[in-house]
Copies of this chain bind each other. A is one copy, B any other.
């Protein structure tokens, strides 16, 4: 279906590489705050400091920008989960996974919102990837976690829902940032809120996962 293989990556000049980068940066900003349909090419062009036809010289269609953005996103987005490995102490592994995810929510909130927007609208453009690459990765890591449970290293529970809950709690601080700030108020809604969140989440997850005894 969408299998149009780019047989040879199109040759690009230095200017093209730079301008494409500029556009993608601007588009990330615009798409993540307005959604795909809510964003106009003009907005992106203005944010990138160029005219609309000029932008369309680098990306032929609006959807091409979004697609490129999404492809890049997914690689970096799943990196923390890929790092979750069987070599260290289970509780330490999970704790650092949670920390890495929370750091991504802090450092890449726009990417998180871009992803959330896409999923919220039914993931029309990345569904195959969810059912393929993502499912495979999660199943694999769920099995790792199951091994830890069998070995008595962490409490027995559902590994898939455990992963969901880590995603939900950490991404919440990027996706629902305005709500978090509004509720915490000007005092506690500042930069320190991620430290507080990290402390809280560690306590919640670790104490809940610690094997009894």
Q: How far is the CA of A161 from the CA of B182 in the complex (A)?
A: 13
Assess the B121–A182 pair: CB atoms within 8 A: no
Number of interface residues of A (CB under 8 A): 57
Given contacts A200-B165, A208-B203, contact A38 B121 (CB under 8 A): yes
CB-based contact A180/B158 at 8 Å: no
> Which A residues between 162 and 189 are near B, CB-CB below 8 angstroms?
162, 164-165, 167-169, 171-173, 175-176, 178-180, 182-185, 188
Known contacts A135-B185, A157-B200; A34/B165 CB under 8 A? no
Q: Is A122 interfacial (CB-CB < 8 Å)?
A: yes
State whether the Cβ of A201 lies closer than 8 Å to any Cβ in chain B.
yes
Q: Do A123 and B207 contact each other (CB < 8 Å), given the known contacts A168-B172, A200-B157?
A: no
Assembly of this chain: how many copies?
2
Contact residues of A with B, CB < 8 Å?
A: 33-38, 113, 116-117, 119-123, 127, 130-131, 134-135, 138-139, 155, 157-158, 160-162, 164-165, 167-169, 171-173, 175-176, 178-180, 182-185, 188, 196-197, 199-201, 203-209
Cβ–Cβ < 8 Å partners of A122 in chain B: 33, 178
